[in-house]
Amino acid sequence: MTAVDPGTPTWLRTHNDRTAFRLLLEHGPLSRSKLGKLSGLSKPTAGAMILRLERVGLIEAMGEIAATRGPNATVYGVRRDVMTGVAISILADTIEAVLTDPVDSDRPVVVLPVAGADRSPENDINSAIDAACAAAGVARSSVSVVAVGVQAAVDVAADELSFTDTLPGWPQTGARQRIEQATGMTVILDNDVNLAAMAERALGVTKDATSFAYFWIGEGLGVGLDIDGQIQRGTSGSAGEIGYLEVPRSAASIDPAAADFTDLLGGPAIAALMGSPGERLRAVLDHVEADDPLWGSVADRVALALAPIVALLDPASIVLGGPTGVAGGGRLASLVQHRIDAVQYPRPDVRGARPHIAVRASTTGSESILLGARQVLVAHIRARLEAAIVA
């Protein structure tokens, strides 16, 4: 970013142009007159801002609106193709991807099977970029950044991955660097559940929550921890990897063979509980009714897994997401709420704190990871474009 001395005419023009750019992103296409009113500047100044932003290729005319007096007014908006990114979710059996632009336009989501594919960070991401660009009808050359959600703990500083059960061909160290070298793009690599939690904060039921724990319940388990809008990743990026914790003794009454929480609540456990052992979780959940009494058994397991989260973090709310959480919906959330409210401490002489935690079902749907990656990309693209504005 070029430094500009405060108080100079150049600084003032840069400040005004960046303000105009943010207003166009926030409100969509605007006329000179409307931009002037929103910015508090005169119509001629607004016109000059539009001219400069149009000259550097950030905005373009997008039609006309009828004026109350005089000729129709031209409206200007941010160009969708000035910089794009690709949001990617690496799942156990598929890769999902979607193109993203500065105004977060709706684009088609592509789903790529991974069975039989030659897996590596470079191959997975290159395939996803190509497919997303083809589906959106956009040249790959416009893509400058990708945000990737992986089913692993991500140590960003060390470029290290751990718990990589579902990432064959991906190394423990250097995955991000390899993708950047192969694509020439900026790569943002993050844990999939953290991205889902970001989507819930931005678009879901926790917009105003002071803190929440997003509990992903799928083939595997994970917890995204949000405190005051900040995801808590821990020193090595492994905060929230609850699936690998050893179950307490009380789990024996539910499943005496369970060694960790994934054994108790992961995909195979839920499929078996629903009477379809060995089947893929999503296929099983498609045939389970919302009022099935088996959700009570699922709630018992969820409440047990959440006990350490409740005790250690005391979040304002808990969101149940992932395939099982979404399928269970409000019914499962209500059952888990009842169990948490009725918790009893094992020591009868201890008067424990009564938790005031709202348990809710995720409202961001089955593509929450992609939605979170899109949020990250849009913020990144907008920041880069704004930083490049120097009048």
For the cut 70, the answer to whether the pLDDT of residue 68 exceeds it is no
Average pLDDT over residues 194-210: 94
176: its two tokens: 């991000």
Domain residue limits, the chain: 9-78, 84-194+370-387, 205-363
The CATH label, of 3.10.20.30, 1.10.3210.10, 3.40.50.720, 1.10.10.10, for the domain at 9-78 is 1.10.10.10
| Closest to 345 in 3D by CA, of 250, 257, 265 | 250
pLDDT recorded at residue 1: 47
- The per-type count for the chain, helices as H runs and strands as E runs, is 12, 15
Q: Which residue has the tokens 């409210």?
A: 341
Secondary structure, 3-state, 63-83 = EEECCCCCCCEEEEEECCCCC
pLDDT digits (tens, 9 = 90+) for 179-194: 999 999 999 999 999 9
Residue labelled with tokens 């009808």:
137
Average pLDDT over residues 346-354: 68
- Give percent above pLDDT 90 in the chain: 84
Query: Quick one: tokens of 223?
Result: 């917890």
Going by C-alpha positions, the residue among 338, 236, 322 that lies closest to residue 282 is 322
Task: For 205-363, give the CATH class.
Answer: alpha beta
Extract the tokens encoding 33: 């007159």
Query: Strand, helix or coil at 89?
Result: strand
Domains 84-194+370-387 and 205-363 share a fold: yes
Sign of the CA dihedral 283, 289, 294, 297?
Answer: positive
Please report which confidence band the pLDDT of residue 165 belongs to, taking 50, 70 and 90 as the band edges: confident
Instruction: Give the pLDDT band of residue 352 (cuts 50, 70, 90).
Output: low
Q: Please state which of the four CATH numbers 3.20.190.10, 3.40.30.10, 3.40.50.80, 3.30.420.40 is assigned to the domain occupying 84-194+370-387.
A: 3.30.420.40
**Pairing mode of beta strands 110-113, 160-162:** unpaired
**72 band by pLDDT with thresholds 50, 70 and 90:** confident
What mean pLDDT value characterizes the chain? 93
Among the listed ranges 80-84, 269-273, 309-313, which one has the minimum average pLDDT value? 309-313
Query: E-strand spans in the chain?
Result: 30-31, 59-65, 73-78, 84-90, 94-100, 110-113, 143-150, 153-155, 160-162, 186-191, 211-217, 221-227, 230-231, 317-321, 358-361
What is residue 231's three-state secondary structure?
Answer: strand
Residue 384: per-residue pLDDT: 96
| pLDDT number for residue 371 | 96
Confidence of residue 161 (pLDDT cuts 50, 70, 90): very high
CB 139 within 8 A of CB 133: yes
* pLDDT for position 7: 66
